[in-house]
Structure 1
Amino acid sequence: MTPKRVFRYVEYAIRQDPTGELSWAVQCVSGDESDCGASSGPLIGETPAVRWMSNHTAATGHDRYKRTFTDYAITQPKG
């Protein structure tokens, strides 16, 4: 009897794409009863994200943030 299906399993390595643009976004989650909610929007590079948090803390006294990092990834077969 011949097989009707052939399954080929390939393992992949995942790495960051060095040509992809990295971005950060920051949202203020400080507040007593509800989060402040102020958001930086997308920022290119970590330095602007740190600057945004520093400026927001200086202006409001808020000190708790949710940071989101976005990158591009490449998959390549292992082996």
Structure 2
Amino acid sequence: MPTALLHRIAHSRLPHVLTNDPDIEAIRPLILAGLVKAAMQVTLDPWGGGPQPGIVVREITPEGRRALEGRRTE
């Protein structure tokens, strides 16, 4: 489970946009485990580039918060 990414998302402002391939791969297990709510959409490059595909994380679920606290997510 990519908990480092979950911690990074928890310490950022939501919605949190992921556009690089390693982050997009790492978010998938978090979505499937129900730890975050996210959707793929076209996003704008913050550095002035054109539109690109990205994953927009809108919420860390209660299960995700429990995982951050180190408790079981039953």
TM-score normalised by length of structure 1:
0.23
Higher relative contact order (CA 8 A, sep 6+): 1
Bigger helix fraction:
2
Larger radius of gyration: 1
TM-score normalised by length of structure 2:
0.24
